[in-house]
Copies of this chain bind each other. A is one copy, B any other.
């Protein structure tokens, strides 16, 4: 809150009934640095207009199509038009608006997985590099303070050399054929035309990949994947198991499932190094377990002295006053907004301001592609 320049957010998608739209709006505005100013909130023009009205947008800033929004906002004077657009549509409607708004010089915050193909991702990467705009991808789980401290521990060699990474993202909500009931979230996520080539591996496996990459900084060399569709009639995978080999010799296992009954949003990671171990779970995000060689196990808690600067910067409340999903999501927005306010964009901004950028988004797309390729292959290892 404060003296910081208020930024104006536009939104594509996220209207009535879209859970993730409300998350983005609340997260972006959480710390009072962003105002929701314009939107094209549905791919159906009538719903788009109605959603804008319900959310209190002025009619003049409520658009029936994203193209209309691009045109309309571009005509507004710099002091009025949106600073950035958040794209929170199903995956197949990421690429076109992301590219168009970037090319028009707007900053972009886009949901993940970024796009359907590496070719699309590369196109975006080049546009961002060319325009020098800020481009963030909402890999929101890397916004948690204790994840940032985990990264700090690895990067400062507190764990020694990383040997092994086990990352899992398990859910159970698709254990039966929910899409057959017309449930909106299940419907598009299980449809290759809208979701892309990955089911569970795309929707949540990509978060797991990014979390491992964010914390360890390791690059995948090759993978060996088994994708399964457990629920009869489903077109995409609902379960994934992937053996990982990183450059430099570290190994790992990545699991993602949407058919583990009783698992809600169980993203967890552990990293084992030559000098210690760390472990973190998204569902209890306020602490991080660290075990140095020789022990004992330590439980580090958010808000306490001794945590890294990035963790502190992402913390609002004192220890014991739990923060959670929205705050972590807001941290991604805040860091991207810091870059916007600082006037720093392009490829480097993401690393410098600590938010997931177009490079991370592109890496995620490539990961999904390679996992699907590996799953179809008889060869053991597929290069990444």
Contacts and interface: CB of A to CB of B under 8 A. Distances in A.
Contacts of A300: 296
A241 B253 contact: yes
Contact of A163 (B259, B263, B291): B259
A129 interface: no
A2 B54 contact: yes
Interface in A276-302: 276-277, 282-286, 291-301
A45 interface: no
A300 B294 CA distance: 11
A16 to B, nearest CB: 10
A310 interface: no
A343 interface: no
A30 B30 contact: yes
A224 interface: yes
B272 A259 contact: yes
Nearest to A275: B261
Interface in A310-343: 316-327
Contact of A1 (B22, B171, B319): B22
A257 interface: yes
A276 to B, nearest CB: 5
B296 A304 contact: yes
A32 B25 CA distance: 9
A380 interface: yes
Contact of A325 (B26, B263, B321): B321
Contact of A224 (B175, B226, B257, B261): B226
A284 B322 CA distance: 8
Contact of A380 (B224, B253, B325): B224
Contacts of A26: 30-32, 316
A348 interface: no
Number of chain copies forming the complex: 4
B262 A1 contact: no
A172 B291 CA distance: 11
Contact of A273 (B261, B282, B304): B261
A309 interface: no
A55 interface: yes
A164 interface: yes
Interface string A3-26: 100100000000000010011011
A251 interface: yes
A255 interface: yes
A253 B54 CA distance: 48
A34 to B, nearest CB: 12
Interface of A: 1-3, 6, 19, 22-23, 25-26, 29-32, 36, 54-56, 163-164, 166, 171-172, 175-176, 224, 226, 228, 230, 239, 241, 243, 245, 251, 253, 255, 257, 259-266, 270, 272-277, 282-286, 291-301, 303-306, 316-327, 377-381
25 contacts: A1-B56, A6-B56, A19-B318, A26-B30, A26-B316, A32-B36, A163-B239, A164-B259, A171-B320, A172-B291, A175-B274, A241-B243, A259-B272, A260-B272, A261-B272, A262-B277, A262-B297, A263-B320, A264-B319, A266-B320, A283-B322, A296-B300, A299-B299, A321-B325, A378-B379
Given A317-B326, A378-B379, 7 more contacts: A32-B36, A163-B239, A172-B277, A241-B243, A263-B277, A283-B320, A379-B379
Nearest 8 CB-CB pairs, A to B?
Answer: A264-B320, A265-B320, A262-B291, A322-B324, A324-B324, A264-B319, A297-B299, A321-B325
